[in-house]
Structure 1
Amino acid sequence: MINWNNLDTLKSFDELKKVNRVELTKVMALENGAERVQKYSVPMAEGLTYNYAAKEVDDDVLAALDNLAKEAQLAEKFEELYNGAVINTGEKRMVLHHLTRGQLGNKVEADGVDKREFYEKEQKRIADFANKVHSGSIANAKGEKFTTVVQIGIGGSDLGPRAMYLALENWAKKNNTFKMEAKFISNVDPDDASAILNSIDVAHSLFILVSKSGTTLETLTNQSFVMDALKKAGLDPAKHMIAVTSETSPLAKSDDFIEAFYMDDYIGGRYSSTSGVGGAVLSLAFGPDVFAQFLEGAAAEDKLAASKDMMKNPAMLDAMIGFYERNVLGYESTAILPYSQALSRFPAHLQQLDMESNGKSVNRFGEAIDYVTGPVIFGEPGTNGQHSFYQLLHQGTNIVPLQFIGFKKSQIGNDVDIQGSTSQQKLCANVVAQIVAFALGKADENKNKNFEGGRPSSIIIGDELNPKSLGALLAHFENKVMFQGFVWNINSFDQEGVQLGKTLAKRVLAHETEGALAAYSKLFNI
């Protein structure tokens, strides 16, 4: 039987708080660190490895975390989720993004259909469409091939797909799978759409409108903006646009689109990169085979996340260590630091994934909770971040746990030797140095140059960033966020916090304002 209990009612949480804290500067001392680096490491899918040697844990802490994971029934709750239980209590929905990339458990039926078959059918429809675009059988009014694809969407319809596209762009060019350049319009700020439209040849551009409900204000506004630009160029918008939406959306059967591809309410926006939301743009940009490899990597990581053994389940282990840092050690933030320029927008995606999922102060049943939940997430690629905010990370008054990501090889393959080492070797040397510098610090009589150390970090290491390893990386973080939501007994799959601002914005535009809302509206001449 599954029990959904608040964290502070679990006996194992009280026991965890009694375990002695680890002094990172001692356990990571250079003479001991080598053994620890080898010991505290667990394999992930697609050649990735999660190494947590520089975290403030030891065998006693890990045993206590394992007990808590068992009492909180994390593995059983994940099993409930992928077998089709109504896990999203706020919206009374199942949570099925795992089904977009494989069948982990039992057959799941909803809306009168097998949902795995539904997702596979839509993926095949997208693949067929992309192949026809690439072959030229679907073309513009003059019969000329489309060369650019532009995604119009916001939130999960933008952040994840954009991050995934950028992550694979150079890889695809190197491996001759690059088909079309992709651009993204998200912000309702007209400068965003204008900048993209001014950078492309609209006559050879295919636009993807992404809105599950078909009512998203920013997306529909940008649709109108783009349609106006197409008309001014003497083009028929209906021959340049497709939609990714739900079957019940007003966009589903509209004559404004060449074709519509479907998703459903069981996949939240921030979890939708492996659905048609990511599938359409990535299949058009790189080809359906590349998107299939991406799904394969995600599915492989999902299988590891289904393990009941925390020490063999990298997502659960990462989640529990992060929970420990938040709820026992009291750290408020986590920095995501990919030492890969291809992952330049990955921290922004994880910011939404984590903060929109676990930024909650009530439990799954709408009752107030008395403990902290999701951390603040931020990050930038290394080595750029080293010359930006690492000063605070090294010597600031707050300790910020760090999650590094690094790869042994670059995507481009060719590199040059400069002063005895290649650029990739310099990149990897920097991440290695940062892990040890944060952990050990450096004593100096000049307090301005003193580094206290004791700053915890983990790293996910891979051979190369490619479609499969990217899929595994994405699934790891999705599952980590899910497990932490289970520990906190919150609903990680709705986002009521984004609704109030939308409601008030509509009131402003309808001139139904008073008080401060009216006063601020006047400042902008609305």
Structure 2
Amino acid sequence: MTKTTNNLDSCEAFAQLTALQPVGNLATLLTPQRVATAQVAMDDGMWFNYAAKAVDEPILQALQQLADEQQVVSQYRQLLDGAVMNGSEQRMVLHHLTRGQLGADVVHGGTSLRDFYQQQLDRIAAFCVQVHNGEVRGGSGERFTRVCQIGIGGSDLGPRAMYLALAHGQRSQKQLKLEASFISNVDPDDAGQVLAELPLSRTLFILVSKSGTTQETLTNESLVREALRSQELDPARHMVAVTSETSPLAQSKGFLTSFYMDDFVGGRFSSTSAVGAAVLMLAFGETVVKEFLAGAHQQDCLALNPNVDENPALLDALIGVYERNVLGYPATAVLPYSQALSRFPAHLQQLDMESNGKSVNRQGQAVRYATGPVVFGEAGTNGQHSFYQLLHQGTDRIPLQFIGFLREQGGSDRVIQGSTSQQKLNANLMAQIVAFAKGRRHKEANKVFVGQRPSSLIYAAQLTPRVLGSLLAHFENKVMFQGFLWNINSFDQEGVQLGKMLTQQVLGGRVEDDALDAYCRLFQS
């Protein structure tokens, strides 16, 4: 790893950034020319537009200097070459390698890991062809028509969000091969509801657990196996596993087959690994998944450019750091104006908050500045009728990230009351950006909109598999760059461990904390 791993507040460029005069009036800054030019190309007609962000040329120049001083692109190159970037766990970070090679060959235990990831994709593709052709069938001899993924955290949020993003478009084109469902929560009502709606004799289940010991996942596996047996179906003919080669699930006779991942791809970064590929390929086929991976790889390529005006993920990351650490904004909202992306904010919530919700640097020392923001969001226009009130007139200024598309996926839009539904959707999107930035004066105080609410916009012609891959990788790389800028480890997640440990005490009847014991008594039946 680079020796230059300075804390943000020790950077000369950060001191210069904080000394600059902030943009005084976002409404004045947001001119027609700026709307047309303040944007960076992403991929195939896809753009990152930052016209409504409160950054002018001096601020952008200081952000470039900050990126250079922190050597963020250099650190990214080292990551691609297989450097140990997850220092607390002494692991490489290789999710980029699951969708293509950009650096040196990464070899571990005598095996090329790019070859390993590609081999797993090829094995999944071959298995999916057998399922789609009816060569692999369930215990009753029926063809599979449904797939259900059992997993939690990164084994659920990303793959579920990606599936939902593409399902309607593929269904409308009559290209959907298997409908997909997901079970994640250990709450028995989650599994119970999903299982009640599935034709079990025609459902293939994917159990996803890297360690093979995840409590919630194994509990739900037992519920699924019990449900299958209750219909006299052999669970081993209805389940596949996605796990590590060293887990208890590997090579188990209780599965049709197993596909593998490793410790170098974190759960929240695993949508382009076997974790996401298995369910997506079963649902959509190999061609769609290849396009999805190609879009992600293209963004990874763009992220290597050291110039912020040609690197959308880096620019997005830098503006976010400026808003968090100079302007003091505590949160950010992700607002996709696409119902297909309804679960994308939930995925980004884990991606960002689990990665950058850290208070110590990579040397284990406490940092004296804010790191990752609170991330939340909802698909438009639903959010407008929910939490936009606070965004517009609340006491906190919350930066916004809009996502929009010129056309719908399904091709079934119609003119109603003089405009199509997609036109109405995009009219709302554009109106919100301007309303947040410019606000409104009014003689009645409760009708005043102060404005000065900054936002960015990612837009493309249509949400395709390639565009979805680009969108995913953009945010993954944004989070990575922000971690480098803050000098924190974005790739471990110790914050989830303490609760797990105390949970095991409760379940094992060995509670050591008096307060925890008191809560246990509240739930005794």
TM-score when scaled to structure 1? Answer: 0.98
| Corresponding position of 2:341 | 343
Matched, 1:516 2:510: no
Matches within 5 A, 1:448-459: 448-459=446-457
Q: Determine the C-alpha separation between the residues in 1 that align with 2:509 and 2:365.
A: 35
| Corresponding position of 1:277 | 275
Q: CA deviation at 1:2?
A: 4.1
Q: Which amino acid aligns with 2:4?
A: N
For the Cα contact (< 8 Å) 1:212–1:244, is it kept in 2? yes
| Corresponding position of 2:35 | 37
Q: Any unmatched runs of 5+ in structure 2? A: none
Write out per-residue CA displacement over residues 176-235 of structure 1, whole angstroms, 9 at most, x where no aligned residue: 320001000000000000000000111111000000000100000000111111111111
How many aligned positions are there? 523
Q: Determine the C-alpha separation between the residues in 2 that align with 1:480 and 1:242.
A: 33
176, 179, 204: which one pairs with 1:178?
A: 176
For the Cα contact (< 8 Å) 2:317–2:482, is it kept in 1? yes
Q: Determine the C-alpha separation between the residues in 2 that align with 1:280 and 1:510.
A: 35
Q: Determine the C-alpha separation between the residues in 2 that align with 1:83 and 1:209.
A: 31
| Corresponding position of 1:3 | 4
Matches within 5 A, 1:479-490: 479-490=477-488
| Corresponding position of 2:195 | 197
Q: Determine the C-alpha separation between the residues in 1 that align with 2:435 and 2:207.
A: 46
Q: Determine the C-alpha separation between the residues in 2 that align with 1:296 and 1:395.
A: 41
Q: CA deviation at 1:253?
A: 1.4
Q: What secondary structure does 2:521 align onto? A: helix
After alignment, is 227-236 or 64-73 more displaced? Answer: 227-236
Q: What secondary structure does 2:177 align onto? A: coil
Q: CA deviation at 1:310?
A: 1.3
Q: Which amino acid aligns with 1:175?
A: Q
359, 362, 365: which one pairs with 1:364?
A: 362
Q: What secondary structure does 1:85 align onto? A: coil
Q: What secondary structure does 1:44 align onto? A: strand
Write out per-residue CA displacement over residues 274-332 of structure 1, whole angstroms, 9 at most, x where no aligned residue: 00000000000111111111001100111001111111000000000000000000000
96, 104, 107: which one pairs with 1:106?
A: 104
Q: CA deviation at 1:259?
A: 0.2
Q: Determine the C-alpha separation between the residues in 2 that align with 1:226 and 1:144.
A: 18
Q: Which amino acid aligns with 1:61?
A: I
Q: CA deviation at 1:142?
A: 3.2
Q: CA deviation at 1:420?
A: 1.1
Write out per-residue CA displacement over residues 489-515 of structure 1, whole angstroms, 9 at most, x where no aligned residue: 000000000000001000000010141
| Corresponding position of 2:221 | 223
For the Cα contact (< 8 Å) 2:173–2:410, is it kept in 1? no
| Corresponding position of 2:294 | 296
| Corresponding position of 1:266 | 264
Q: CA deviation at 1:524?
A: 1.1
Q: What secondary structure does 1:208 align onto? A: strand
230, 233, 237: which one pairs with 1:232?
A: 230
418, 423, 428: which one pairs with 2:416?
A: 418
For the Cα contact (< 8 Å) 2:26–2:54, is it kept in 1? no
Q: Determine the C-alpha separation between the residues in 2 that align with 1:50 and 1:2.
A: 32
Matches within 5 A, 1:107-186: 107-186=105-184
Q: Which amino acid aligns with 2:112?
A: D
Write out per-residue CA displacement over residues 133-161 of structure 1, whole angstroms, 9 at most, x where no aligned residue: 00000011232211110000000000000
Matches within 5 A, 1:324-335: 324-335=322-333
| Corresponding position of 1:472 | 470
Write out per-residue CA displacement over residues 27-75 of structure 1, whole angstroms, 9 at most, x where no aligned residue: 345xxx1011122101002321000000010000000000000000011
Q: Determine the C-alpha separation between the residues in 1 that align with 2:340 and 2:385.
A: 18
For the Cα contact (< 8 Å) 1:166–1:345, is it kept in 2? yes
Q: Determine the C-alpha separation between the residues in 1 that align with 2:227 and 2:447.
A: 56
- Percent identity reads 60
Q: Determine the C-alpha separation between the residues in 2 that align with 1:52 and 1:277.
A: 33
Q: Which amino acid aligns with 2:299?
A: E
Q: Determine the C-alpha separation between the residues in 2 that align with 1:304 and 1:73.
A: 16
For the Cα contact (< 8 Å) 2:140–2:201, is it kept in 1? no
User: Cα 1:167–1:24, aligned 2, differ >3 Å: closer, same or farther?
Assistant: farther
For the Cα contact (< 8 Å) 1:440–1:452, is it kept in 2? yes
For the Cα contact (< 8 Å) 2:27–2:437, is it kept in 1? no
Greater than 2 Å deviation, 4+ residue runs = 23-29
Q: Which amino acid aligns with 2:175?
A: T
Q: CA deviation at 1:465?
A: 0.2
Q: Any unmatched runs of 5+ in structure 1? A: none
For the Cα contact (< 8 Å) 1:24–1:456, is it kept in 2? no
Write out per-residue CA displacement over residues 458-505 of structure 1, whole angstroms, 9 at most, x where no aligned residue: 000110001000000000000000000000000000000000000100
| Corresponding position of 1:25 | 26
| Corresponding position of 1:52 | 50
Q: Determine the C-alpha separation between the residues in 2 that align with 1:127 and 1:23.
A: 54
For the Cα contact (< 8 Å) 2:335–2:345, is it kept in 1? yes
Write out per-residue CA displacement over residues 324-350 of structure 1, whole angstroms, 9 at most, x where no aligned residue: 000000000000000000000000000
Q: What secondary structure does 1:106 align onto? A: coil
| Corresponding position of 2:13 | 12
Q: Determine the C-alpha separation between the residues in 2 that align with 1:28 and 1:410.
A: 31
Matches within 5 A, 1:82-97: 82-97=80-95
For the Cα contact (< 8 Å) 1:47–1:469, is it kept in 2? no
Matched, 1:389 2:387: yes
Write out per-residue CA displacement over residues 103-157 of structure 1, whole angstroms, 9 at most, x where no aligned residue: 1111111122001010000000000001100000001123221111000000000
Q: Which amino acid aligns with 1:518?
A: D
Q: Determine the C-alpha separation between the residues in 2 that align with 1:472 and 1:463.
A: 13
For the Cα contact (< 8 Å) 2:180–2:283, is it kept in 1? yes
Q: Determine the C-alpha separation between the residues in 2 that align with 1:367 and 1:454.
A: 35
Q: Determine the C-alpha separation between the residues in 1 that align with 2:259 and 2:283.
A: 17
Q: Which amino acid aligns with 1:430?
A: N
Q: CA deviation at 1:169?
A: 0.3
Q: Determine the C-alpha separation between the residues in 2 that align with 1:449 and 1:418.
A: 30
Q: CA deviation at 1:25?
A: 3.4
Q: Determine the C-alpha separation between the residues in 2 that align with 1:8 and 1:156.
A: 32
Write out per-residue CA displacement over residues 375-394 of structure 1, whole angstroms, 9 at most, x where no aligned residue: 00000000000000000000
Q: Determine the C-alpha separation between the residues in 1 that align with 2:125 and 2:27.
A: 54
Matches within 5 A, 1:236-251: 236-251=234-249
Q: Determine the C-alpha separation between the residues in 2 that align with 1:306 and 1:181.
A: 37
Q: Determine the C-alpha separation between the residues in 1 that align with 2:411 and 2:487.
A: 45
